[in-house]
Amino acid sequence: MRNFINLSKNKQVELNAKFPDLFKIYCLDETPHYKKVEITVFDHWLTLEEFQNDRPDKNEQLRRNRLLHDFAKIMSKNTEILNFKFKGKWDRCCPSFRKFSCQESMDNYLHPAADNDSSDKFCRLVLPEFSAVYFESWDYTNIFYIQDDKIIPKIKQWASESGVYCLEY
C-alpha cells in the first residue's frame, strides 16, 4: 500500500507559492521568508559541555523519541499536515506535496528516525493553515520554519500537551 498520495497540479502550484525557498531551508541556507522555532526534549539550549556529555541509554532514547512522536501526533490532530519531497536537482529542484494515504501511514511517518538513520529518513512536513514548515532534526530537536508568529502560541500549546519544549531564537 502507498503511504502518500500526490496532490493535484493546482494544489501543487498553490503550495509552491505559499512555501517559498523550501529547498533552501532543507539545505540549511538562510532565507528572509522564515523564522526558526525549535521543539526539543530539553528545557533550555544545551551548552557545549551538556551536549558532549549527553549519552542517553536505550530507555532514555525511547522516552525522548516517544515525546517527539506524541508532539507530532498532537500537531497532526489539530491541523492538516502534508509531506513533501523534492523532484529535480539543485537549481531546478522543486517540492512535490503529498497527503497521507491513511492514519497508519501518517503515524508511522511521524515516528522519529533511528539515531543511525540518514537525515533523508527525517520527516518533512508543511502545515498549510499556518504557513509553517516542520523538519525532524538531530539530537532530539525538531525545527519549525514559520512565516508568521501567530502560530507560536499553538506550537507552545502542543509542546505543553506532549511534554516537550518550544525554544525560540
Task: Assess contact for 3 and 105: CB atoms under 8 A.
Answer: yes
In a domain, 131, yes or no: yes
Residue span of the structural domain in which 101 resides: 4-16+33-168
Please give the pLDDT value at position 13. Answer: 96
Mean pLDDT of 153-166: 97
- Residue 58 and residue 2: Cα distance in Å, rounded? 31
Please give the pLDDT value at position 81. Answer: 98
Question: What's the total number of domains in the chain?
Answer: 1
Mean pLDDT of 14-30: 93
In a domain, 43, yes or no: yes
In a domain, 130, yes or no: yes
Mean pLDDT of 146-168: 96
Task: Assess contact for 142 and 38: CB atoms under 8 A.
Answer: yes
In a domain, 102, yes or no: yes
Share of the chain above pLDDT 70, in %: 95
Mean pLDDT of 80-109: 92
Please give the pLDDT value at position 117. Answer: 61
For residue 53, the tally of other CB atoms under 10 A from its CB is 9
Place of cell 507559492: 17
Q: pLDDT tens digit string along 108-152?
A: 999 988 765 656 678 999 999 999 999 998 889 999 999 999 999
In a domain, 25, yes or no: no
In a domain, 27, yes or no: no
- Residue 161 and residue 150: Cα distance in Å, rounded? 18
Buried/exposed code over 134-166 (b: 16+ C-beta within 10 A; e: otherwise): bbbbeebbbbbbbbeeebbebbeebbeebebbb
In a domain, 50, yes or no: yes
Query: Is it the case that residue 70 has pLDDT exceeding 80?
Result: yes
Residue type, 168: E
Residue type, 49: E
